[in-house]
Amino acid sequence: TNGNGDLFYEYDDDYAGRLAFAHSHGIKCHASVVFMDKAGLHQLLSNPANRTRLVNNLVTRVNKDGYDGVNI
């Protein structure tokens, strides 16, 4: 993510297949959010609109891809 609450991600070609395989074997899959930029993290957390954007983006991604939750 960035300070504006936008998501950036990289998947391999078969991530959907990997999620389906894991779920078919009773394994829960969680998306992970990593933020290494101190200034950007401050920008994100200190701005209510940016926090809301991040939450909405995470909910959309979880629902679209079928994750079981998010690790932040």
Q: Which two tokens stand for residue 34?
A: 């990593």
Amino acid residing at 27: I
Residue 61: CB atoms within 10 A of its CB come to 16
Specify whether the backbone of 5 is left (phi greater than 0), alpha (psi in -120 to 50) or beta.
left
**Among 55, 56, 65, residue whose Cα is nearest residue 29:** 65
The answer to whether the predicted template modeling score (pTM) of the entire model surpasses 0.85 is no
pLDDT at res. 26: 97
pLDDT at res. 53: 97
pLDDT at res. 39: 93
Tell me the pLDDT of the chain (72 aa) as tens digits.
899 999 987 777 788 899 999 999 999 999 888 887 899 999 999 999 999 999 999 999 999 999 999 998
pLDDT at res. 13: 79
